[in-house]
Amino acid sequence: MVKRTMLLAKVIGSAVCTIRVESIKKAKLKIVKLIKPDGGWAGSYSIVEDSLGAGFGEKVLIAEDEIAIAQMHDGKEDIPIRFCIVAKVEDINLI
């Protein structure tokens, strides 16, 4: 069963790794903290792949989706990435 989850997060840093497995050698890694829609901390941090070039302090949507991650890696399904940034969030409107 494919797990598909999207979460709101804020970029708080980057991770520099000089030694990596071959399948993620070119991946840019960012450190994010999960946030609530009102901007408050949701209590968790994660390292995610960033193919969009998100900057420090930007709000992003991260996906925990094996299909999205495989698509970013030419269809390969054995990539050791759990989360990836799929969108930069410009605005959030709560009703």
- Residue 16 above 60 pLDDT? yes
- Measure Cα distances from 18 to 13, 57, 69, 89 in Å: 16, 24, 22, 30
> What's the chain's average pLDDT?
86
d(C-alpha 73, C-alpha 67), whole Å: 10
Q: List, for residues 65-74, the tens digit of each pLDDT value.
A: 777 776 776 6
> Residue 75: left (phi > 0), alpha (psi -120 to 50), or beta?
left
Q: Is the pLDDT of residue 85 over 60?
A: yes
Closest C-alpha among 10, 55, 13, 43 to residue 30: 13
Q: Provide the pLDDT for residue 48.
A: 93
For the chain, which residues make up each domain, given as ranges?
Answer: 4-88
Place of tokens 């390292």: 47
Class of the CATH-defined domain 4-88: mainly beta
